[in-house]
Amino acid sequence: MHTKEIIRSIETEEIENLKSQKKQELPLIYVGDTVKVGVRIREGGKERIQPYEGTVIAMRNGGINETITVRKIFQGVGVERVFLLHSPRIASITVIRRGRVRRAKLYYLRDRIGKATRVKQRFDRPV
Report the domain count for the chain. Answer: 1
User: For residue 64, what pLDDT is reported?
Assistant: 84
User: For residue 83, what pLDDT is reported?
Assistant: 96
Residue at 127 is within a domain: no
Average pLDDT for 40-51: 94
**Identity of the amino acid at 117:** T
Residue at 10 is within a domain: no
Report the CATH number at residue 46: 2.30.30.790
104 phi and psi, to 5 degrees? -85, -30
**pTM exceeds 0.85:** no
- Neighbouring C-alpha atoms within 13 Å toward the C-beta of 13: 6
The DSSP letter of residue 109 is G
Residue at 3 is within a domain: no
Residue at 76 is within a domain: yes
Residue at 123 is within a domain: no
Residue 88: domain span = 24-116
Residue at 18 is within a domain: no
Taking the C-alpha atoms of residue 95 and residue 36, their distance in angstroms, rounded to an integer, is: 6
Beta strands in 44-89 (DSSP E): 46-60, 67-74, 77-84
